[in-house]
Structure 1
Amino acid sequence: MPLPFLTADRAFDTTDHVALPFDDHDQWRRPYRPGSWRVGSAALALLLASFVLLAAVIIAAAGAVGGSLATFGIAVLVIVAALRMLRMGTWVSRAGVRRVGFLSTVTVRWAQVISVRTVQQPVRWLGLPRTVQGQALVLDRQGGEQLLLLTDHNADFLSRVEAFDRAADTVEAWNAEYGVDPAATR
């Protein structure tokens, strides 16, 4: 069963450095592959869910239907959380850029974007409270708001500096293609 949210298109495997390698720019796409930390965490969560489902079957066979349903519900929640972890990240299309978090999603239309730039700043290590010095791809919106799109220390790019640079360049290219020219707004 293909999981399109798990892998980026094979267009990024080529040696051609085409900034916008997709034919259909209206479809939301992640401009990078999920990192090993994200995929590994989701795999461990799905492994845990399989054991919880097995426990639900054993509890149901023992005759405790209420306990079995509760255990099955817990397994479903773990599966949904694992799939949401795989879906997290930055997505781009002709319509704009979308930052998908675990509990929320923020979509910004390209017309509202002032700039997309890579900056050196303290970033969270694997999303934990600990911060380290690193790079971040920051989107500046109209009204002075900033949106952190990517960091080189998150679950997708930890120990993958080249992948972070490639993803940041790709998002900047989408902004250059569909964003508003800053000189035209003056």
Structure 2
Amino acid sequence: MPLPFVTADREDRIEAAQSVTLAEADREVWRRPYSPGPCRVAGGALLLLLASFVLFSALVVVLAGALPSGVLCAGCGVLVIVLAVRLLRAGVWVSSYGLRHAGLLRTTTLRWTEVGTLRTVQQPVRWLGLPRTVQGEALMLLPPRGSADTRAEGDRRILLTDHNADFLTRRGGFVRAADVIEGWAAESRPVAAG
């Protein structure tokens, strides 16, 4: 059963995220210019469900009298919660300061002056981050020309693909997100240089 008020609300949120300009970002607030995809949200929900079972089992183990085992089990539950939060926060974030690429285990932050060219290219991309590749599109970050970091292929960084957990079933969402990120980069370069 379609729910038009849910769809309209989501479209309003997407338009609001796209309309955020650098002039409105007068303080350093990191924003993800797209909503997380259903695969990412489902993975986070499953990890949180697993964490609740692990924490409940830790409670049972402690009540049974095995305190060290219960503490170890609770620690595992906390690690699963941290993993779920990192999974949900993974993606590309922008602010007036620069661009942040948050991964599952590592986060890289670049000032806008360090961001070279953002380009959407067609190439083989990983399907949901797995080793299997399919033909798709990727938003690629190239280092600035003339910088000391410029190397042949090593510094090309893939920020988003149309087959990752955020955009697997949302091709239009990938195009909008890539355009918004490229717009932030184009709008912020004169401000960062001055």
TM-score normalised per structure 1? 0.86
Q: Which residue of the partner structure matches residue 4 of structure 1?
A: none
Residue 24 (structure 1) aligned with residue 25 (structure 2): yes
The correspondence for 2:42, drawn from 37, 40, 43, is 40
The TM-score, its normalising length taken from structure 2, stands at 0.82
Q: CA RMSD in A?
A: 2.3
- The answer as to whether partners of 1:56 and 1:72 remain within 8 angstroms in 2 is yes
Deviations 1:52-108 (A, max 9, x none): 111111111111111110110110000010001011000011111110011111112
The correspondence for 1:156, drawn from 151, 166, 169, is: 166
Q: In the aligned structure 2, how far is the partner of 1:118 from the partner of 1:36?
A: 23
> Is there any run of 5+ residues in structure 1 with no aligned partner, and where?
1-7
- The count of corresponding residues between Structure 1 and Structure 2 is 173
For residues 22 and 175 of structure 2, what CA distance do their matches in structure 1 show? Answer: 16
SS in 1 for 2:57: helix
Q: Secondary structure at the match of 2:24?
A: coil
Which blocks of at least 5 consecutive residues in structure 2 are unaligned?
1-9
Identity of aligned residues (%): 51
Dislocated runs of 4+, deviation >2 Å: 10-14, 16-26, 142-145
- Alpha-carbon separation, structure 2, partners of 1:53 and 1:66: 14
- Residues 154-163 or 134-143, more deviating: 134-143
Contact 1:110/1:180 (<8 A) preserved = no
Task: Please say if residues 20 and 170 of structure 1, whose CA atoms lie closer than 8 Å, have aligned partners that are also in contact.
Answer: no
CA change 1:34–1:175 in 2 (3 A) is: same
Q: Is the 8 A contact 2:100 2:108 kept in 1?
A: yes
